[in-house]
């Protein structure tokens, strides 16, 4: 009998890239999504292979039955924006803390053997000297980072209290296909380059991030789903390399042979980490994880994808 994996937020950006990977690896997939941001069109060609439950993770009674008969849960559903978490911290708490608690409780009630939790590196750890790793002291500076730290704490508690295998994966900054509904820097830069408008940079452009392509990330998630020996672990899925905001902007400008006269600098936004990249050696050791796509190729492919989507038919 095929092992059944439940993916919360399965029609979202990461989920819609992960589901085909899980199907190809022979898993039976059930998606739990409220469709507030996710879009079924991303997985239309797999419709006959997927079970779907439309429900919201903040409503425990509506989601509880979706966990019946599930071997592994990949919990991706989240309120994922640092900026939006500052403007609406209560909604961020309800989705990321209460929602995660509900997912863990439903998993424990239904004897789910493993849960893979989508966490974050930079926002959870805060302004620490990079590269960060699993031993870095968490000091979140945004409600989003705090909510993911709470989620990791509940994951650890449920692993110990209910004999559940839980793996928290701290994602670097993810980009790639099926992300046109997002509001992150890749999307904004792509739209600004398309229109040959100034690329907006908050700060002086020296802030750095670790950008990981969604296909590399989903490969790491699938390895965590496969791994039978992991019980209560925290792992970084990252590239181990940082790219400054100014460098990223120039990579986008190069897609249309534009120069730095198209950059517009504004004040730094509240809650955002200054510099961050992560050491993924633990994920390499325990999962065999190794990212393949470099930032130059990744920006080129992301721009082509986003330009095609924003341009329309």
pLDDT tens across the length of the chain (313 residues) = 679 999 999 999 999 999 999 999 999 999 999 999 899 999 999 999 999 999 999 999 999 999 999 999 999 999 978 889 999 999 999 999 999 999 999 999 999 999 999 999 888 898 888 899 999 999 999 999 999 999 999 999 999 999 999 999 999 999 999 999 888 899 999 999 999 999 999 999 999 999 999 999 999 999 999 998 888 999 999 999 999 999 999 999 999 999 999 999 999 888 787 888 899 999 999 999 999 999 999 999 999 999 998 876 5
Judgement on whether residues 21 and 155 belong to the same structural domain of the protein? yes
Judgement on whether residues 139 and 185 belong to the same structural domain of the protein? no
Judgement on whether residues 170 and 218 belong to the same structural domain of the protein? yes
Assess if residue 289 is contained within a domain: no
Judgement on whether residues 186 and 273 belong to the same structural domain of the protein? yes
Judgement on whether residues 140 and 187 belong to the same structural domain of the protein? no
Q: Is 144 one of the catalytic residues?
A: yes
Judgement on whether residues 193 and 119 belong to the same structural domain of the protein? no
Assess if residue 202 is contained within a domain: yes
Judgement on whether residues 98 and 222 belong to the same structural domain of the protein? yes
How many domains would you assign to the chain? Answer: 2
Assess if residue 113 is contained within a domain: yes
* Domain enclosing residue 40, as ranges: 4-174+211-237
Judgement on whether residues 119 and 262 belong to the same structural domain of the protein? no
Q: Of 144, 175, 211, 280, which is the active-site residue?
A: 144
Residue 80 burial (C-beta neighbours within 10 Å; 0-12, 13-18, 19+)? buried
Could you tell me the CATH number of the domain that includes residue 89? 3.40.50.720
Which residues lie closer than 8 Å to 58 by C-beta, 6 or more apart? 94, 95, 98, 99, 102
Judgement on whether residues 217 and 249 belong to the same structural domain of the protein? no
Judgement on whether residues 55 and 88 belong to the same structural domain of the protein? yes
Assess if residue 134 is contained within a domain: yes
Assess if residue 153 is contained within a domain: yes
pLDDT for residue 313: 55
pLDDT for residue 1: 66
Judgement on whether residues 125 and 252 belong to the same structural domain of the protein? no
Assess if residue 102 is contained within a domain: yes
Judgement on whether residues 86 and 8 belong to the same structural domain of the protein? yes
Residue 195 burial (C-beta neighbours within 10 Å; 0-12, 13-18, 19+)? exposed
Assess if residue 287 is contained within a domain: no
Could you tell me the CATH number of the domain that includes residue 246? 3.90.25.10
Assess if residue 52 is contained within a domain: yes
């Amino acid at each position: 009998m095929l092992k059944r994996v439940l993916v919360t937020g399965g029609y979202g950006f990461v989920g819609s890239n992960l589901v085909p990977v899980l199907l190809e690896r022979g898993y039976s997939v059930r998606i739990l999504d409220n469709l507030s941001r996710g879009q079924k069109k991303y997985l239309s060609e797999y419709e006959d292979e997927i079970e779907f439950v439309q429900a919201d993770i903040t409503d425990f009674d509506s989601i509880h039955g979706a966990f019946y008969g599930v071997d592994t849960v990949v919990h991706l559903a989240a309120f994922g924006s640092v900026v939006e978490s500052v403007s609406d911290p209560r909604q961020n708490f309800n989705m990321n803390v209460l929602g995660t608690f509900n997912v863990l409780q439903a998993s424990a009630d239904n004897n789910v053997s493993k849960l893979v939790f989508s966490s974050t590196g930079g926002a959870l750890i805060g302004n620490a000297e990079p590269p960060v790793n699993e031993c870095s002291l968490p000091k979140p500076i945004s409600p989003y980072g705090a909510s993911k730290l709470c989620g990791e704490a509940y994951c650890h508690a449920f692993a110990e209290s209910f004999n559940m295998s839980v793996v928290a994966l701290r994602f670097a900054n993810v980009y790639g296909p099926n992300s046109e509904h997002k509001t992150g820097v890749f999307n904004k830069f792509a739209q600004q380059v398309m229109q040959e408008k100034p690329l907006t940079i908050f700060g002086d452009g020296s802030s750095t991030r670790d950008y990981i392509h969604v296909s590399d990330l989903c490969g790491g998630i699938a390895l965590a789903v496969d791994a039978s020996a992991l019980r209560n672990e925290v792992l970084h899925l990252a590239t181990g390399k940082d790219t400054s905001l100014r460098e990223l902007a120039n990579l986008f400008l190069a897609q249309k042979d534009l120069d730095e006269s198209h950059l517009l600098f504004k004040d730094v936004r509240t809650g955002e980490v200054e510099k961050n990249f992560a050491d993924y050696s633990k994920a390499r050791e325990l999962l065999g994880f190794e990212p393949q796509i470099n930032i130059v190729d990744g920006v080129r492919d992301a721009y082509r994808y986003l330009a095609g989507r924003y341009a329309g038919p």
